[in-house]
Structure 1
Amino acid sequence: MPTSVPLILASASPRRKQLLTEAGYTIEVDPSDIDEPEPTPGTLAVDYVALLAWRKASAVARRRGNGLVLAADTACAVEGEILNKPEDRADAERMIRLQEGRDTKVLTGICLYRAERDEWVGAVEISVVRFRVLDNAERHAFLDSNRWAGKAGAYGVQDSDPFVSVARGSFTNVVGLPMERLTALLQNFPNLTR
Structure 2
Amino acid sequence: MKRGLILASASPRRRQLLDEAGYAFEVDPSDVEEPGPAAGADPGAYAADLAWRKARAVAARRGAGLILAADTVCAVGGEILNKPVDRDDAERMIRLQEGGDADVITGLCLHRGDRPEWLGAIEVSVVRFRALSDAERAAYLDSGRWEGKSGAYGVQDRDPFVSVARGSFSNVVGLPMERLAALLAAHPALLD
Q: TM-score, normalised by structure 1?
A: 0.98
For 1:82, the equivalent position in structure 2 comes to 80
CA shift for structure 1 position 133: 0.3
Q: What's the secondary structure of 2:2's corresponding residue?
A: coil
CA shift for structure 1 position 118: 1.7
CA shift for structure 1 position 9: 0.3
1:48 to 42, 46, 49: 46
Q: What's the secondary structure of 1:117's corresponding residue?
A: coil
Q: What's the secondary structure of 1:191's corresponding residue?
A: helix
For 1:3, the equivalent position in structure 2 comes to 2
For 2:12, the equivalent position in structure 1 comes to 14
For 2:145, the equivalent position in structure 1 comes to 147
Contact 1:3–1:186, Cα closer than 8 Å, also in 2: no
Identical pairs, percent: 70
Residues in 1 aligned to 2:39 and 2:114: alpha-carbon distance in whole angstroms: 36
Contact 1:3–1:193, Cα closer than 8 Å, also in 2: no
1:120 to 118, 121, 126: 118
- Return the letter of the residue paired with 2:91: E
For 2:177, the equivalent position in structure 1 comes to 179
Residues in 2 aligned to 1:89 and 1:103: alpha-carbon distance in whole angstroms: 22
- Return the letter of the residue paired with 2:140: F
1:70 to 68, 71, 74: 68
Q: What's the secondary structure of 2:64's corresponding residue?
A: coil
For 1:60, the equivalent position in structure 2 comes to 58
CA shift for structure 1 position 3: 3.0
For 2:102, the equivalent position in structure 1 comes to 104
Aligned length, in residue pairs: 192
CA shift for structure 1 position 65: 0.3
- Return the letter of the residue paired with 1:114: R
Structure 1 stretches of at least 4 aligned residues deviating more than 3 Å after TM superposition:
none
Is structure 2 residue 25 aligned with structure 1 residue 35? no
Q: TM-score, normalised by structure 2?
A: 0.99
Q: What's the secondary structure of 1:116's corresponding residue?
A: coil
CA shift for structure 1 position 160: 0.4
Deviations 1:34-53 (CA, angstroms, capped at 9, x unpaired) = 11000001110010000000
Unaligned runs of 5+ in 1: none
- Return the letter of the residue paired with 1:120: W
- Return the letter of the residue paired with 1:171: F
1:133 to 131, 134, 146: 131
Residues in 2 aligned to 1:27 and 1:15: alpha-carbon distance in whole angstroms: 14
